[in-house]
Copies of this chain bind each other. A is one copy, B any other.
């Protein structure tokens, strides 16, 4: 069977996340990078091509040129989907052009620069034949899927409370905005949008809570702060939550927490038990029944649900990590691309891959937290928020 052919926009030689996407896409040996626009800088673009063993005629000057050119290639040669790994402000234009040209799209998060763009993209997708995947990487961990499965099976009863935290420390000190640090654009409203901390990591935490808990966040009360002096955007956030299923919640998100690396963790408290997972020890999932010994559920065992087993590549005790989790999104997405080749399947969201729904929800969450925080930390019903209200707001 022919490999799935991927193009890429972004991810030049110095970029962190582009290389992660390429490793994740390549891990299972069923996706081949065939073309790309890796940098606006021509030298860096060609340099990337060389490193990646791409023939130079498949390296393009800009995304529109790439889509136009690839479209003209024979069906069994041309790119089948594009992976978008640029800063937030360009996601929409690239994705929209790709869909327009008939390609599938796999996109970094947050999906777009603002909610309006995500809503617009959602409409475009509805009228297209394209698949859309969103890189909410943490959903790709096997034990996150196990947790979701157990909640859905009722193993912890009714969900009563969720505490989710995503803490990092890399913005604890003032950065030199000279580009030395690759992530400095995240603090720039022109590239990042209206939020840094919530937009970059808080939205992951919100997604994880909704994914595992199986219920959407309906109301929020947010407390955003710019702890390091001189910043326009937030670098720290706490958000009180109410889910559709009436569960209470707290989301803590911070980039000024020195010593925290990439500390995403979640506790889902139910009426019959609790599930607890931490990204930095991703191969362990705790089930705490309260009155019996806690159980340590581990990746790689036969007792896991099929969804979790399908996301595992090694036996128990051989740690899998972030790249493997990421690869699971690509694995499911590329399988959907294959299924799509002969049009035998409907254009539904690939199982196990966050999509445009999560894109809109995520953008609404980001904009909602900013609005709630600005409104003296008052409660906000998320579905009353739409692109229009935000436009008025800004």
Chain A residues in contact with chain B, CB under 8 A?
A: 1-3, 16, 19-20, 22-23, 26-30, 33, 50-53, 156, 160-161, 163, 168-170, 172-173, 221, 223, 225, 227, 236, 238, 240, 248, 250, 252, 254, 256-263, 267, 269-274, 276, 279-282, 286-298, 300-303, 313-324, 376-379
Contact = CB atoms under 8 A, between A and B. Distances in A.
Integer count of this chain's copies in the complex = 4
A225 B236 CA distance: 25
Interface centre among A252, A258, A260, A269, by most chain B C-beta atoms within 10 angstroms, is A258
A52 B29 contact: yes
Nearest to A32: B53
A238 B236 contact: no
A256 to B, nearest CB: 6
A261 B293 contact: no
Contact of A256 (B20, B160, B172, B286): B160
B50 A1 contact: yes
B20 A29 contact: no
B314 A323 contact: yes
Nearest to A257: B269
A60 to B, nearest CB: 19
A19 B169 CA distance: 37
Contact of A254 (B161, B259, B290): B161
A22 B29 contact: yes
A70 to B, nearest CB: 20
B29 A258 contact: no
8 contacts: A20-B314, A23-B27, A258-B270, A259-B276, A280-B317, A294-B295, A294-B298, A314-B322
Contact of A160 (B221, B227, B315): B227
A296 B227 CA distance: 27
Nearest to A52: B29
Contacts of A52: 29
Given A19-B313, A281-B281, 9 more contacts: A1-B53, A26-B29, A27-B323, A30-B53, A257-B274, A260-B288, A261-B316, A314-B322, A377-B379
B269 A258 contact: yes
A294 B259 contact: yes
A379 to B, nearest CB: 7
A384 to B, nearest CB: 17
A206 to B, nearest CB: 16
A217 to B, nearest CB: 15
B161 A257 contact: yes
Counting from the closest, the 3 A-B pairs by CB-CB distance are A259-B288, A261-B317, A262-B317
Contacts of A23: 27-29, 313
Contact of A297 (B280, B293, B321): B293
